[in-house]
């Protein structure tokens, strides 16, 4: 049986950052979808239903938080794991209030390698948890436990 | 205090009067004893008697008058002091409130009206705990009493004050005990407005936060690229290695640009600039700026029209003049789409000779484009620090919002002006008018 390729959506306005995340995740064998602002990010998310969304906060026009809020209003959007990748450490609380499967990563403190590990872990845990369990935060918690961070 | 009349003069009149009175008295006595006085002596004696009586009365009246004048003077002085106090009290740039020993407000100055919108009359008579504009009223009374008892100084910084209209102002509060008079000891509350300096502080802190964040992003990018290069698996191919290094280089350049811009802002604000004035050719300067932008202009296939008249005697600091030209041209190129059109005009201003006063020779520099324009509601913020219009942000997310701020500061410092017209999605036209010779500017 051919396993469907996993999809990863990267929503980030800075091209170099999009580039390197994309390059680093490529070895995981996923299909990578890119968006450069909140507007198109939301659209591509709802159109493609990726398995995980990597989201930046500071973007022109619709920012990451606004996009995530709207995303969470959608049936599917409520359970999709979102990795928030940002330098805005002060946004942590607002991010966690979004609920669902959320992982907050302050870019400046993390190595790109570890970011990739998080994505990989999310895809694995998602597999064995099953879709119906998603949305409660249990996936995010498991990922944090397995990788050993807050 | 005016001097009273010379005592000697008064004394003389008194003694004359008294002497005359005594003479009359004696004469009358004689008359009585001798019972034989000619009529004329009667007349004389009565005249003298009457005169001396009048003199005595006048003397006493004089005393009374002098006393009355003295009291009037004292009262005038008191009035003058009171008026001075009222003036000082009401003209004070800080809010002053006098609170009596019972905690009641007895006087409030007019400043409270300017600053908080309350009339002094509305507040006088209230207990300190009832002050409508203070959020910590109860504490205020307790503080004052506490201070009285223990002789402590009461000082509170950056308290919130509510205006009558509901706005919030920020002020420092001090309570100063007034000297005891009889058995009364009042306190003076001094409230000074620090809203402005608070805002300046806040703006500075915000600036630091924003620029730090702006630097953090490219720094993170470089770090990730470097990390990836250091890991074996990633640079299997030369191509990627080269691409990553180029990205690191470009991002680094961007940061240097940002830091330089911030340093420039700092220097402009602290007025630490010193111009190096030399004669330059405006065409050469513009050409060199266009050189830098040539690739971008070509890539976007932008039509460039130049109408540059020579400006005689142009004596400026080339580095700073360049900043102005470069900023305006770079903006025009950035915010104009492919196949757009940019017009650059330079011409000396027709000098109007008024009564032999030749004034300052000026010239204008205009940069016009048919690009994305500036939305009307955002136009008033164009020259403010860190401002970026929403549509500008979409076109170029990396802009700092400092370019036009610096440009305006430089132009103002040489005694020039900058203005613009802009229509959303139609284009913009920026016009700079400056003296040809910057020698008289404040940075020369």
Shortest alpha-carbon distance between residue B198 and chain A (Å): 22
Considering only the C-alpha atoms of chain A, give the largest distance between any 2 of them, rounded to a whole number of Å.
Answer: 45
**Which residues from B are below 8 Å from A19, CB to CB?**
247
Q: What pLDDT is recorded for position B389?
A: 78
CB–CB contact A111 B213 (8 Å): no
Is A107 an 8 Å CB contact of chain B?
Answer: yes
Residue A60 contacts B, CB cutoff 8 Å: yes
- Higher pLDDT, residue B6 or B262: B262
Q: What pLDDT score does B174 carry?
A: 86
B9 has pLDDT over 60 = no
What's B440's DSSP letter? G
pLDDT, greater one: B356 or B47: B47
| pLDDT given for residue B341 in this prediction | 94
CA distance B127 to B100: 10
- Give the closest residue to B390 by CA, choosing from A11, A36, A60: A60
Q: How many Å apart are CA B193 and CA B94, to the nearest integer?
A: 7
- Which pLDDT value is given to residue B402? 83
CB B131 within 8 A of CB B140: yes
Chain mean pLDDT for chain A: 88
Q: What is the pLDDT averaged over residues B334-358?
A: 82
**Phi, psi of A5, rounded to the nearest 5 degrees:** -65, 140
How far is the alpha carbon of B258 from chain A, nearest alpha carbon, in Å?
16
Cross-chain Cβ contact A14/B390 below 8 Å: no
Q: Radius of gyration (Cα) for chain B, nearest Å?
A: 42
- Helix (H), strand (E) at residue B42: helix B39-91
Q: Is the dihedral of CA B73, B76, B82, B86 positive or negative?
A: negative
Look up the ipTM and state it.
Answer: 0.88
Query: What would the pLDDT profile of B215-233 be if each residue is shown by its tens digit?
Result: 888 899 999 999 888 886 6
Residues in chain B within 8 Å Cβ distance of A113: 227, 231
Q: How many CB pairs under 8 A join A and B?
A: 56
Q: CB-based contact (8 Å) between B213 and chain A?
A: yes
Report the residue of chain A nearest B219, measured CA to CA: A108
Residue A1 pLDDT exceeds 60: no
CB B156 within 8 A of CB B144: no
Q: Is A114 on the interface with B (CB under 8 A)?
A: no
Give pLDDT, residue B1. Answer: 43
- Nearest-CA distance from A91 to chain B in Å? 13
Q: Which of A60, A87, A113 sits opposite B216 (nearest CB)?
A: A87
Smallest Cα–Cα separation from A11: which of A37, A46, A31?
A37
Segment B383-404 shows an average pLDDT of 78
Query: Which residues from chain B sit within 8 angstroms of residue A85, using beta carbons?
Result: none
Asked whether A9 and A40 are in contact (CB, 8 A), the reply is no
Task: State the angle between helix axes of B238-269 and B195-230 in degrees (0 to 180), rounded to the nearest 10.
Answer: 160
Residue B195 reports pLDDT greater than 90: no
Which is more confidently placed, B41 or A114? Answer: A114
Report the Cα B443 to chain-centroid distance in Å: 23
> Hey, is the C-beta of A112 within 8 angstroms of any chain B C-beta?
yes
Instruction: Check if B219 contacts A (Cβ < 8 Å).
Output: yes
Q: How far is CA B403 from the centre of its chain?
A: 25
Structure confidence at residue A17 (pLDDT): 92
> Do A18 and A36 meet the contact criterion of CB atoms below 8 Å apart?
yes
Whether A24 sits inside 8 A of B228 (CB atoms) is: yes
Q: Best of B209, B215, B217, B400 to disrupt the A interface by mutation (most A CBs within 10 Å)?
A: B217
Q: Which residue has the higher pLDDT, B393 or A97?
A: A97
Which chain A residues are closer than 8 Å to B247 by Cβ? 16, 19-20
Of B50-54, B173-177, B357-361, give the lowest mean pLDDT range: B357-361
Residue-wise DSSP of B210-277: HHHHHHHHHHHHHHHHHHHHHSGGGGGSHHHHHHHHHHHHHHHHHHHHHHHHHHHHHHHHTT------
Specify whether the CB–CB gap between B316 and B335 falls below 8 A. no
pLDDT at B11: 66
Residue range A13-19: mean pLDDT, rounded: 91
**Contact between B401 and B347 (Cβ < 8 Å):** no
H/E stretch holding A6? none
CA dist list (Å): B197 to B111, B117, B202, B381, B383: 19, 21, 8, 21, 21
B-facing residues of A in 23-52 (CB < 8 A) are 23-24, 27, 37
Distance from CA of A111 to the nearest CA of B (A): 7
Nearest to B227 among A17, A19, A111 (CB): A111
Q: d(Cα B187, Cα B189) in Å, to the nearest integer?
A: 6
Half-sphere exposure of residue B110, counting CA atoms within 13 Å on the CB side? 8
Mean of pLDDT values over A7-35: 93
User: Which pairing describes strands B315-316 and B168-177: parallel, antiparallel, or unpaired?
Assistant: unpaired
- Percent of chain A residues topping a pLDDT of 70: 97
Rounded Cα distance between B329 and B308, Å, is 14
Three-state DSSP class for residue B55: helix
């Amino acid at each position: 049986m051919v396993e469907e390729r996993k999809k990863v959506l990267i929503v980030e306005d800075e091209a170099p950052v999009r580039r390197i995340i994309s390059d680093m995740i490529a070895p995981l064998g996923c299909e990578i979808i890119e968006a450069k602002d909140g507007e198109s990010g939301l659209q591509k998310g709802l159109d493609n239903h990726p398995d995980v969304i990597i989201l930046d906060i500071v973007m022109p026009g619709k920012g990451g938080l606004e996009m995530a809020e709207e995303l969470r209003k959608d049936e599917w959007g409520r359970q999709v794991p979102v990795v928030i990748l940002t330098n805005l450490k002060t946004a942590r609380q607002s991010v966690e209030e979004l609920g669902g499967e959320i992982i907050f990563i302050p870019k400046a403190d993390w190595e790109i390698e570890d970011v990739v590990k998080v994505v990989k872990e999310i895809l694995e845990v998602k597999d064995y948890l099953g879709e119906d369990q998603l949305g409660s935060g249990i996936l995010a918690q498991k990922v944090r436990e397995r990788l050993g961070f807050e | 205090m005016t001097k009273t009349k010379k005592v000697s003069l008064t004394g003389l009149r008194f003694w004359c009067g008294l002497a005359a009175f005594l003479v009359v008295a004696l004469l009358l006595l004689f008359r009585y004893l001798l019972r034989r006085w000619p009529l004329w002596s009667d007349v004389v004696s009565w005249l003298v008697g009457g005169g001396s009586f009048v003199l005595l009365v006048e003397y006493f009246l004089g005393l009374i008058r002098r006393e009355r004048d003295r009291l009037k003077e004292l009262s005038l002085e008191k009035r003058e002091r009171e008026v001075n106090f009222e003036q000082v009290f009401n003209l004070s740039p800080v809010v002053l409130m006098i609170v009596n020993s019972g905690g009641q407000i007895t006087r409030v100055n007019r400043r409270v009206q300017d600053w908080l919108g309350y009339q002094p009359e509305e507040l006088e008579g209230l207990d300190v705990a009832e002050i409508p504009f203070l959020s910590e009223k109860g504490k205020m009374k307790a503080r004052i009493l506490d201070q009285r008892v223990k002789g402590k100084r009461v000082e509170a910084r950056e308290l919130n004050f509510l205006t009558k209209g509901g706005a919030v102002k920020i002020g420092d509060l001090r309570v100063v005990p007034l000297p005891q008079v009889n058995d009364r000891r009042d306190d003076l509350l001094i409230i000074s407005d620090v809203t402005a300096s608070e805002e300046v502080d806040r703006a500075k802190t915000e600036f630091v936060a924003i620029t730090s964040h702006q630097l953090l992003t490219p720094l993170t990018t470089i770090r990730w690229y470097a990390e990836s290069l250091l890991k074996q698996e990633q640079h299997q191919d030369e191509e990627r290695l080269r691409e990553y290094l180029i990205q690191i280089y470009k991002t680094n350049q961007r940061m240097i640009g940002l830091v330089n811009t911030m340093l420039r802002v700092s220097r402009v604000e602290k007025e630490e600039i010193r111009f190096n004035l030399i004669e330059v050719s405006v065409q050469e300067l513009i050409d060199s700026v266009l050189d830098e932008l040539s690739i971008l202009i070509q890539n976007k296939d932008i039509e460039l029209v130049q109408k540059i008249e020579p400006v005689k005697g142009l004596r400026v600091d080339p580095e700073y003049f360049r900043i102005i030209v470069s900023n305006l041209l770079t903006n025009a190129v950035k915010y104009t789409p492919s196949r757009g059109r940019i017009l650059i005009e330079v011409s000396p201003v027709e000098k109007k000779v008024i009564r032999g006063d030749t004034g300052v020779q000026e010239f204008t520099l205009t940069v016009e484009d048919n690009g994305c324009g500036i939305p009307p509601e955002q136009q008033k913020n164009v020259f403010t620090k860190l401002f970026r219009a929403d549509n500008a942000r979409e076109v170029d997310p990396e802009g700092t919002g400092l370019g036009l701020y610096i440009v305006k500061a430089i132009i103002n410092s040489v005694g020039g002006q900058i203005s613009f017209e802009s229509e959303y999605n139609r284009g913009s036209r920026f016009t700079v008018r400056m003296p040809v010779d910057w020698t008289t500017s404040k940075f020369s």
